[in-house]
Amino acid sequence: MTIDENVWTFFQQHLGYNDDDMQKFREDPRNEHVLSKAGELMSKTIVIEVVDSHGCNSQHKVGDKFYLDGAGNLISKLCPKRMCAFAVSSFGQAVFGMGELFYAGADPNKMYFKRFGCTDVGIQCGGWGKIVMEIRMEDRT
């Protein structure tokens, strides 16, 4: 796979790399593989939907959705007005897993363990509330 020089230049500027950093970046074959799939990944949206909620202080309800671009950046204008830091902080591993499956050529939506929860343990365990979320990848519309 050959990456166009304009793509390498864009990423050098985007990431703020000096020439030495960029040389190291380009020497890692994984980066070339990732960049070869970047365009396709950016045509995807990662959706994290609340599937269970009880006692959530931020008032997240079943059906609430958080939207991220293919690179894992929140698209805040599409998300709930209030976003609990403890819910958002739990996204990382699931979003990482989606990306890894995508880069490996597997369907990210076939991930076996696609549900996860916020970090509050819920009223039954001495916390306040608990939400459970499910992740999926969709084509961007």
* pLDDT < 70: residue spans in the chain: 1
In this prediction, residue 2 carries a pLDDT of 84
The Cα–Cα gap between 41 and 124 comes to: 40
CB neighbours (10 Å) of residue 66? 22
The Cα–Cα gap between 64 and 11 comes to: 34
Q: What is the pTM (predicted TM-score) of this model? A: 0.90
In this prediction, residue 105 carries a pLDDT of 94
Q: Which spans in 28-110 are helix H?
A: 29-41, 85-88, 92-103
In this prediction, residue 141 carries a pLDDT of 77
What's the angle, vertex CA 106, arms to CA 63 and CA 28, rounded to 5? 115
Residue where the block lists tokens 């390498």: 8
